[in-house]
Amino acid sequence: MSPIIASDTYTEHVYIHIPFCEAKCPYCSFVSMKVSNSVKEIYIRQLLSEIRVFFDVQSGKPLKSVYFGGGTPSTLTIKQLERIISSLKTKPGFSQTAEVTVECHPAHITEGFLKQLNLLGVTRLSVGVQSFLEHEILFLKRPYTIAFLLKKLDLLFSVKGSMQIGFDLIIGLPDQTIEAIEKNLKKLCSYNPDHCSCYLLSIEEKTKFGLLKNKKKLLELEEEQARTLYLYAHQFLEEKGYEHYEISNWAKAGAYCQHNKAIWKGEAYKGFGLGAHSYYSKAHRFQTVHLSEYLEGKRNEDVYPCKTKEELLSVSLLGITRTLAGIPRSLCAGNEALLQSLCAQGYLVEQKDRYVSTPEGWLVNDAVVGMLYEKFSESL
């Protein structure tokens, strides 16, 4: 047997990509850019058209989650966000407990914006803090001071209403120390957010940092140093009551990001917007990354079907190993020797009815998945 999870035909989860930013961050490899307000408006019209056309064909079930990512979704006006949310509420509709997440730049936090998000039914706000240290935000080219950031976060927690709040941090910066991580995490925990994401800095080829790295002007943190910082963050946040439920994500009880959790489980989801990724009907789908094409309504997705059990197994293992879901023991017959070996190396831990990844295992998740795939595929 093997832990294959096949995606549904109908999606209950939607991702909306808003590719606009006021400036491109040097570490960002996502599809994002600065554009005029008139271009934003054309984009919104095309986005609404894409949503309408899709759900006219696949009415599906009421949505359980909607995630606005980017780019910077908070660059949109409230009216623009309202038009998108209203279109989804019209068809296919929302479940009674639907989770609606909006990613937000700290500079966009205002009393009026927060109150309007509550009225729109937004349930989660994910704030791109990145760091609480002055020299680190200078390195990351964040366009504000720490004093400005703290003022915005104080306002956020005084006016957030019923929304759950998540903070994003970037760790593993060049020359970053345990002391720096500790200061960041202490300040983060002083706000007591519901959710926290700590992403190890990855320097991608076509980013500004990537160009500097190629010119030998920027050195990545060594692997062992990055490992030490990551494991320190794990221990610190667990001691503060946050459960480490996915490679880069921690949450208070009841505050998991349900949208991402569903995707990691292999559930079907539909992505709308420039460069958006979808997975449903056993196929990965990629929207065009060319803004000019999207604005002209040219939305021919590249489709990559998972035609074989081996392909579905790979997708399933990538998802279940990166969370606490783990691999049920009932699906492990004939593969116990490998699983026990991974436990002995500290990459998995054996629980009552399943094998679950450890933080050490998450640091080498791709390698673990490769070993599991090679062994489990033998029984397909």
Within 10 A of 224 (CB to CB), how many other CB atoms are there? 7
pLDDT at residue number 7: 52
How do the residues of the chain divide into helix, strand and coil, expressed in percent and rounded to 5?
45, 20, 35
User: What are the 10-residue block averages of pLDDT along the chain, 380 residues in total?
Assistant: 55 95 91 94 97 83 94 96 95 92 97 97 98 97 96 97 97 96 98 98 92 91 94 98 97 96 90 94 91 91 82 81 88 86 95 92 93 82
Q: What is the C-alpha to C-alpha distance for residues 371 and 250, in angstroms, rounded to an integer?
A: 26
Compute how many other C-beta atoms are within 10 angstroms of the C-beta atom of residue 259.
24
Radius of gyration for the alpha carbons in the chain, expressed in angstroms and rounded: 21
Q: Which among 309, 311, 355, 349 is positioned nearest to 329, based on CA atoms?
A: 355
3-class SS of residue 21? coil
Nearest to 268 by CA among 257, 256, 284: 284
DSSP letter for each residue of 274-327 = TT-EEEETTEEEE----HHHHHTT----EEEE--SHHHHHHHHHHHHTTBTT-E
Domain extent listing, the chain? 13-264, 308-380
Helix (H, G, I), strand (E, B) or coil at 232: helix
pLDDT at 59: 66
Identify the CATH homologous superfamily for domain 13-264: Aldolase class I (3.20.20.70)
Q: Is the distance from CB of 264 to CB of 246 less than 8 angstroms?
A: yes
In whole angstroms, how far apart are CA 42 and each of 37, 84, 89, 272?
A: 9, 13, 21, 15
User: Which CATH fold topology does 308-380 show?
Assistant: Arc Repressor Mutant, subunit A (1.10.10)
Task: Please tell me the predicted confidence (pLDDT) of residue 197.
Answer: 98
Single pTM value for the model: 0.94
N- to C-terminal Cα separation, the chain? 7
| Helix H or strand E segment including 251 | strand 249-251
